[in-house]
Amino acid sequence: MIISKFLDAVQAEQLNGVWRLLSPLRYQSALLRAIIEVPAGFVTDFSSVPRIPFVYLLVGNTAHAAAVLHDYLYQFHLPGIDRALADSVFYEAMVAHGEPQWRAWTIWSGVRLAGGAAWQSGPERLQVLGGQRDPETGASSSSVRT
């Protein structure tokens, strides 16, 4: 039985409004039955929560590790992982990391409702600083292990 959990803590530095991972972030997913590795150097904004006061108060500045994973899935479009599955893994990761289910569901609902454009533009926004990518898929060589 695979237990969903992060195998590493987020270690990142801020660079002009975005964050760059200083070390890989690995997540073990029961849903995928695999480990996803976000490479060091990956650039993320953590999460794109609208700065509407009430909304940001409820869900802003939360679920950073899950947001990094979600950004990675949206930008790399790994084989066999479509948008719906990426969003489901995001929800799974939030709950596994300790976010209350109501907050995870609220954030998940937001990405399901409004994440289509981000999914479509994901590969164009991809940034890995100092990381290595597979020339065919764009993914790091150890991005998903079963």
Integer Cα distance of 26 and 28 in angstroms: 7
pTM of the model: 0.81
* Integer angstrom CA distances of residue 61 from 48, 58, 67, 98: 10, 9, 10, 14
Integer Cα distance of 83 and 74 in angstroms: 7
> Which pLDDT tens digit goes with each residue over 104-131?
998 898 889 988 888 988 788 776 655 4
> Which pLDDT tens digit goes with each residue over 65-108?
999 999 999 999 999 999 999 999 999 999 999 999 988 998 89
Integer Cα distance of 100 and 133 in angstroms: 34
